[in-house]
Structure 1
Amino acid sequence: MSGVAAVGAAVFAIGFSTTLAMPLFTAYAAREGGGAGGLALAFIAYAATLIVTAPLLGGLSDRIGRRPCVLAGLALAGLSTLALILAPGLAALAVARALQGLAIGLIAGGATAWAAELAGGPEAGRRAARVTAFGTAGSYAAGGLATLGALWLLGDGEPPLTFWLHIAAVAVLIPVVARLPDRRPRERVAWLRVPAFPRGTVASSFGMFAAWGVTGVAITSVPSALAAAGHPRLGPLAVCFMILVGTAVQQAIGQLPARRLSLIGLPVLAAGAGLVVLGTLAASPALLLAGGALVGSAAYGFLFVGALAAASEAASGEDRARAAAGVFLVAHAGFCIPPLLTGLAVDAFGAPAALTGFWLALALFCALLALLLRR
């Protein structure tokens, strides 16, 4: 296995862990009586951990080297799966999500840089970015789909076979990655890398708050509502489809201006979220898949690319990394706040009122962001 492929496989294994247990989220919540709010609280441990640790982890690989960070990420991803094997439930899910947040934080940026250093040559950066981007986005959909397939083929017994396969893959990859060469950093790098928001990027950055807010609700409250209606597998299937379509759109987007990407993404996101809400309340696979396709296109395609492009264009040099970190900070805040508030609202007022209220707030927020972008 080449060095670039080994790093890509490590990134894939770490990302795979984040959605591996997604088809069982509602089962964990139902088993412990946590409801949609309890599930959302356990789920957001991932994003909350990333928000808290991002200033420290963002530049860690530049200070201590790439290999220790990737190895630690693999170990933490394996431990997250082991926690769910040993004690399946909301408490273990919260621990697993926190471990996954640390793992992703450790490899963010550093894994792509290491792959580029291992590749060498004039096309190194582009090739490395393609490998790690596919490893990241592709793994998010693959984890949930693999477990859905295992549950369908082998029954509902826990833990699913995919949990053990993930542990085995991590055990194989750790010695492979440990043998890769790693250039020790020669320059001193600051321990903290504080996110920044260059002038003119706030509206596009908060487009990611809306985008990942919708995806967080789609992963927590939507499956909870569908499971309560007797469709426990429909929610995870729609989420995996959403991620797959979003990944494809992300790769297909051409060189559109950053502002135009965001202006396209906002109405698409609102329309897709509306279809997801209707599909959830009607338990309609067609509406859920159509809405998931639109949400994935907007969240992982237009709004994600537009926000990063706007940050890159507005900053220069080392400030570009801090500007990108600002985008991810706002995005992960969206992964925390809307899912938690919506989950609590589902428990308090029921799914129809909570999801309808969420969509109305989202539509208003998207309209406000579009107005700011046009100005």
Structure 2
Amino acid sequence: MAAIGAAVFAIGFSTTLAMPLFTAYADRDGGGAGGLAAAFIAYAGTLIVTAPLLGGLSDRIGRKPCVLAGLVLAGVSTLALVVAPGLAALAVARALQGLAIGLVAGGATAWAAELAGGPEAGRRAARVMAFGTAGSYGAGGLATLIAFWLLGQAEPPVTFWLHMAAVALLIPVVARLPDRRPTERVAWLRVPAFPRGTVASSFGMFAAWGVTGVTITSVPSALAAAGYPRLGPLAVCFMIVAGTAVQQAIGRWPARRLSLTGLPVLAAGAGLVILGTLGASLPLLLAGGGLVGSAAYGFLYVGALAAASEAASGADRARAAAGVFLIAHAGFCVPPLLTGLAVDAFGAPVALAGFWAGLAGLCTLLALLLLRRQG
């Protein structure tokens, strides 16, 4: 279980490893906030397109090949940024990372539970995998920020080389683990499902990951233009770490309560992040990032998955969870791209204010739908 968790951590680590350099890549290639957003969302776009195929692949060919392929793709994504740093390589790297995460999303947890055995194996495996993904997202960018602080601004940062070395060490370790042979025929395509009564909680994830996508792209771009290139990545790392902590703390809250709590927290946090961006205020950025992370990776994330699990049964639960992730990754694509284009066209203040107004309206509508269903 530890080896599989380390592999998942290394794959997730790659997704934010280059985050402190995103705005540098955009400036170097003249892409602006819109170009950066377009390269950034290649990750989510790849996941959306390939999710129906990748979702059941480990049940057909085995867990080990999927995890090994995910490790190789994560290592190659970092190598692409070493060889040709820029927006084009970033888009390629993000697409490879999307494929890697898609390959291990379900199969790694199932494999860890199968190897661990025992009545609590599934729960323990889920906790390890949840930390391996959410924890690694925050660690990647933070590690590169620390490397810049300690060793200067040289590119590629030492964290890129360390990541590729870690992947190279993990591949033979994972290759030695036992794997079960698939015995049942599984459909190649696993189409996401949307059970009745889960629309509001699922679109809460659209709002949540829309905010995180904008925070990772347009917010750092605006801060870099104002002369503060490291404030944005720092706020993003804090956002992810805070969300991971809340995810572990909220325990067994009811699904609807989680979503109803997360929506106002998300809107308030996004407002603070935008005010902190426009005023280059680190306290506001950290406070807003903590609230956004708590909502996006804690309340709304867990609430949407719990609602989907409660509304579905048996094999449909996996398809319902896939539906949540499909909507969430659509949020990771559309709002960041539109906001980035608006920043280039109208400036950061107008674009970010318009984004928050739309977010507040969506959160209000979703909360009303949840309360209406409760009544």
Give the match for residue 269 of structure 1.
Answer: 266
Match of 2:227 among 215, 230, 237: 230
Unmatched 5+ residue regions in structure 2?
none
Q: How far has the Cα of 1:255 moved from its partner?
A: 1.6
* Whole-angstrom CA distance in 1 between matches of 2:23 and 2:226: 12
Secondary structure of the equivalent of 1:334? helix
Give the match for residue 211 of structure 2.
Answer: 214
Q: How far has the Cα of 1:243 moved from its partner?
A: 0.3
Q: TM-score, normalised by structure 1?
A: 0.99
Deviations 1:285-342 (A, max 9, x none): 0000000011001000000010000000000000000000000000000000000000
* Whole-angstrom CA distance in 2 between matches of 1:89 and 1:297: 31
> Structure 1 counterpart of 2:62, which letter?
G
Q: How far has the Cα of 1:96 moved from its partner?
A: 0.0
- Is it true that 1:155 corresponds to 2:152 in the alignment? yes
Q: How far has the Cα of 1:131 moved from its partner?
A: 1.2
4+ residue stretches of structure 1 with deviation over 3 A? none
Q: Name the % identity.
A: 88
- Is it true that 1:75 corresponds to 2:68 in the alignment? no
Give the match for residue 299 of structure 1.
Answer: 296
- Is it true that 1:95 corresponds to 2:57 in the alignment? no
Unmatched 5+ residue regions in structure 1?
none
Secondary structure of the equivalent of 1:279? helix
Secondary structure of the equivalent of 2:26? helix
Match of 1:366 among 330, 344, 363: 363
Secondary structure of the equivalent of 2:327? helix
Give the match for residue 183 of structure 1.
Answer: 180
5 Å-filtered alignment, 1:78-157, equals 78-157=75-154
Secondary structure of the equivalent of 1:193? coil
Deviations 1:194-214 (A, max 9, x none): 000000001100000000000
Q: How far has the Cα of 1:270 moved from its partner?
A: 0.3
* Whole-angstrom CA distance in 2 between matches of 1:290 and 1:105: 31
Q: How far has the Cα of 1:123 moved from its partner?
A: 1.4
What's the Cα RMSD here?
0.5
> Structure 1 counterpart of 2:146, which letter?
G
Secondary structure of the equivalent of 2:149? helix
Give the match for residue 319 of structure 2.
Answer: 322
- Is it true that 1:48 corresponds to 2:45 in the alignment? yes
* Whole-angstrom CA distance in 2 between matches of 1:195 and 1:315: 12
Deviations 1:141-176 (A, max 9, x none): 000000000011111110000000000000000011
* Whole-angstrom CA distance in 1 between matches of 2:239 and 2:104: 24
Give the match for residue 284 of structure 2.
Answer: 287
Q: How far has the Cα of 1:254 moved from its partner?
A: 2.5
Give the match for residue 259 of structure 1.
Answer: 256
* Whole-angstrom CA distance in 2 between matches of 1:295 and 1:229: 23
The number of equivalent residue pairs is 372
* Whole-angstrom CA distance in 2 between matches of 1:135 and 1:253: 18
Secondary structure of the equivalent of 2:70? helix
- Is it true that 1:346 corresponds to 2:343 in the alignment? yes
Q: How far has the Cα of 1:257 moved from its partner?
A: 1.2
Q: How far has the Cα of 1:16 moved from its partner?
A: 0.2
Give the match for residue 310 of structure 1.
Answer: 307
Secondary structure of the equivalent of 2:187? coil
* Whole-angstrom CA distance in 2 between matches of 1:5 and 1:258: 30
Q: TM-score, normalised by structure 2?
A: 0.99
* Whole-angstrom CA distance in 2 between matches of 1:9 and 1:254: 24
* Whole-angstrom CA distance in 2 between matches of 1:25 and 1:185: 41
5 Å-filtered alignment, 1:196-211, equals 196-211=193-208
